[in-house]
């Protein structure tokens, strides 16, 4: 009996079977960097070794951290990136079209069963497609780029199962904040985390991406979801045809797990994490009434098309409260264009949202849109560490796009189900 993680790593290492704890050398199917983690860091090291990228077609570079350039340093970094991409013959270069973790699957680079490394901690997002994708540092990336290989300690798998059905107003972001609060930021123990259950299967791909993305906040190495028809439909729309046989890319029944956590999806209520950690999560009622200055909808985990649509559900026919501001930084150009086409963007703008450029922006503490002294923010981003998104005195609460949009309307942290018209069945209780 093998887990999905074991199956992928065994294939990548050229073996029929691997055991947790073994150290194996794997061939890398794909590597990804952004403008902060990529050329400016690895190019000088490659040059010092006299080495070239092992396969320029398997290295994807996406600009998202320093865009748009707002000062001489960011201009220089972006120009260096663009020049090096040409010199190195990198064909898969996506420049200023969105955040790497969203753009990578949009562009059809991810397939089930692949072993992928990324120069960013939220590279775990790729696990939503049944790929083993994890983040590495610049030195490890140098080794991958020079050799096409990486050593890996075969992980154990932690199973997280959600059965039943999530109520209206409950999102993947609520799931992950709840897990951070319950299991802590080391709950993943740097092992593989695999999500399953009927409630997970009912999620669309962008919601699944949020689960895998925030596996990084749980301390997991990878966040896996077995591919299914939902995965195939997304990949088909991205121009990827892998056939219909994906049955091999799932954990065997009764495969050994390090731990197994089972939850009832119907009992989960909206979650909010207080400053300065995602682990400070609790039901929204615990923080209800907390006044905010700014509501921020952005980042790979909070501003995809589905996230923007969630916010529009709340904002339609309403206005951002006077004296407050709602900032929206869409996660990708493709999602932005889709939001324009289906009317989502118009709803946000009519409600008083201020649209920001594509990219990581405030989430990663880059650019000019950073939070000021003593600013109180509710955000759809994945992290709220002290000073990460602006001044050390700023305070950031984390929540779903529904809850963030609700706060923009009410001026305070509030239960989004009140504006959605849902009846809170278990207000104030944990799942």
CA distance 209 to 225: 9
pLDDT of residue 422: 58
Please indicate, yes or no, if residue 431 is contained in any of the structural domains.
Answer: no
> Can you tell me the mean pLDDT for 372-378?
96
When pLDDT is cut at 50, 70 and 90, the band that residue 429 belongs to is very low
136-175 tens-digit pLDDT: 999 999 999 999 999 999 999 999 999 999 999 999 999 9
Same domain? For 279 and 261 the reply is: no
Q: Nearest-CA neighbor of 279 among 136, 135, 178, 408?
A: 178
Predicted model pTM: 0.96
Give 43-50's long-range contacts (Cβ < 8 A, gap of 24+).
43/80, 43/84, 43/88, 45/138, 45/139, 45/142, 46/142, 46/145, 46/146, 49/142, 49/146
Please indicate, yes or no, if residue 430 is contained in any of the structural domains.
Answer: no
Same domain? For 236 and 290 the reply is: no
> Can you tell me the mean pLDDT for 358-378?
90
Computed over every residue of the chain, the mean pLDDT equals 95
pLDDT of residue 423: 42
> Can you tell me the mean pLDDT for 203-218?
98
Please indicate, yes or no, if residue 174 is contained in any of the structural domains.
Answer: yes
- Which residue among 210, 232, 265 closes a domain? 265
Say what percent of the chain tops pLDDT 90. Answer: 93
Please indicate, yes or no, if residue 119 is contained in any of the structural domains.
Answer: yes
pLDDT at residue 330 above 70? yes
Hey, CA dihedral for 175, 176, 179, 181, is it positive or negative?
negative
The enclosing H or E element of 218 equals: helix 215-218
pLDDT of residue 29: 98
Same domain? For 159 and 131 the reply is: yes
Domain count, the chain: 2
Same domain? For 72 and 185 the reply is: yes
Please indicate, yes or no, if residue 427 is contained in any of the structural domains.
Answer: no
Same domain? For 186 and 128 the reply is: yes
Please indicate, yes or no, if residue 385 is contained in any of the structural domains.
Answer: yes
When pLDDT is cut at 50, 70 and 90, the band that residue 244 belongs to is confident
Please indicate, yes or no, if residue 425 is contained in any of the structural domains.
Answer: no
Same domain? For 285 and 344 the reply is: yes
Same domain? For 170 and 289 the reply is: no
CATH number of the domain encompassing residue 346? 3.30.499.10
When pLDDT is cut at 50, 70 and 90, the band that residue 365 belongs to is confident
Q: Please, which residues have CB within 8 angstroms of residue 213's CB and are 6 or more apart in sequence?
A: 101, 122, 124, 125, 128, 223, 300, 301, 382
When pLDDT is cut at 50, 70 and 90, the band that residue 426 belongs to is very low
Same domain? For 303 and 355 the reply is: yes
C-beta neighbour count of 275 within 10 angstroms: 15
- Tokens read off for 262: 């089972």
71-106 tens-digit pLDDT: 999 999 999 999 999 999 999 999 999 999 999 999
CA distance 200 to 161: 8
Cα→Cα distances 43→46, 89, 250, 390, Å: 5, 13, 37, 30
41-82 tens-digit pLDDT: 999 999 999 999 999 999 999 999 999 999 999 999 999 999
> Can you tell me the mean pLDDT for 271-294?
98
Same domain? For 291 and 191 the reply is: no
- Which residue among 208, 230, 265 closes a domain? 265
Please indicate, yes or no, if residue 120 is contained in any of the structural domains.
Answer: yes
- Which residue among 217, 232, 265 closes a domain? 265
Same domain? For 259 and 286 the reply is: no
pLDDT of residue 368: 80
C-beta neighbour count of 229 within 10 angstroms: 10
> Can you tell me the mean pLDDT for 295-310?
97
The enclosing H or E element of 93 equals: strand 92-95
Residue that wins the pLDDT comparison between 368 and 402: 402
Range of the domain at 211: 4-245+254-265
CA distance 197 to 161: 5
When pLDDT is cut at 50, 70 and 90, the band that residue 371 belongs to is very high
184-194 tens-digit pLDDT: 999 999 999 99
| Residue carrying the six token digits 């996406």 | 62
Same domain? For 12 and 73 the reply is: yes
Same domain? For 185 and 327 the reply is: no
CA distance 59 to 28: 10
Say what percent of the chain tops pLDDT 70. Answer: 98
């Amino acid at each position: 009996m093998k887990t999905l993680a074991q199956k992928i790593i065994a294939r990548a290492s050229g073996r029929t079977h691997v055991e947790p704890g073994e150290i194996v050398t794997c061939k890398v199917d794909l590597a990804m960097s952004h403008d902060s983690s990529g050329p400016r860091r690895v190019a000088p090291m490659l040059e010092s070794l006299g080495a070239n990228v092992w396969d320029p077609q398997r290295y994807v570079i996406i600009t998202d951290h320093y865009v748009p350039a707002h000062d001489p340093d960011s201009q220089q970094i972006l120009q260096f990136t663009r020049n090096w991409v040409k010199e190195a013959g990198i064909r898969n270069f996506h420049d200023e079209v969105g955040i790497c973790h969203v753009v990578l699957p949009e562009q059809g680079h991810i397939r089930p069963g692949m072993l992928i490394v990324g120069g960013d901690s939220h590279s775990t997002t790729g696990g939503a497609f049944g790929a083993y994708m994890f983040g590495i540092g610049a030195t490890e990336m140098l080794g991958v780029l020079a050799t096409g290989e990486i050593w890996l300690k075969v992980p154990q798998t932690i199973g997280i199962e959600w059965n039943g059905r999530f109520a209206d107003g409950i999102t993947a972001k609520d799931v992950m904040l709840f897990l951070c609060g319950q299991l802590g930021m080391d709950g993943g123990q740097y092992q593989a985390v695999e999500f399953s259950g009927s409630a997970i299967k009912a999620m669309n791909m962008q919601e699944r991406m949020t689960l895998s993305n925030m596996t990084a906040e749980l301390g997991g190495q990878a966040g896996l979801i077995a591919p299914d028809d939902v995965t195939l439909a997304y990949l088909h729309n991205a121009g990827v045809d892998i056939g219909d046989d994906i049955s091999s890319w799932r954990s065997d029944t009764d495969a050994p797990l390090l731990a197994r956590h089972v939850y009832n999806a119907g009992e989960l209520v909206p979650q909010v994490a207080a400053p300065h950690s995602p682990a400070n999560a609790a039901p929204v009622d615990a923080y209800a009434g907390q006044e905010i200055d700014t509501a921020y909808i952005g980042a790979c985990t909070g501003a995809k098309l589905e996230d923007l649509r969630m916010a529009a559900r709340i904002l339609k026919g309403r206005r951002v409260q006077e004296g407050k501001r709602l900032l929206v930084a869409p996660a990708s150009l493709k999602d932005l264009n889709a939001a324009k086409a289906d009317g989502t963007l118009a709803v946000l703008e009519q409600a008083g949202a201020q649209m920001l450029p594509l990219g990581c922006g405030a989430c990663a503490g880059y650019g000019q849109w950073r939070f000021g002294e003593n600013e109180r923010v509710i955000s759809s981003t994945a992290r709220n560490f002290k000073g990460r998104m602006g001044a050390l005195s700023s305070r950031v609460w984390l929540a779903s796009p529904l809850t963030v949009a609700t706060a923009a309307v009410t001026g305070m942290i509030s239960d989004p189900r009140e504006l959605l018209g849902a009846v809170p069945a278990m207000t104030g209780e944990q799942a």
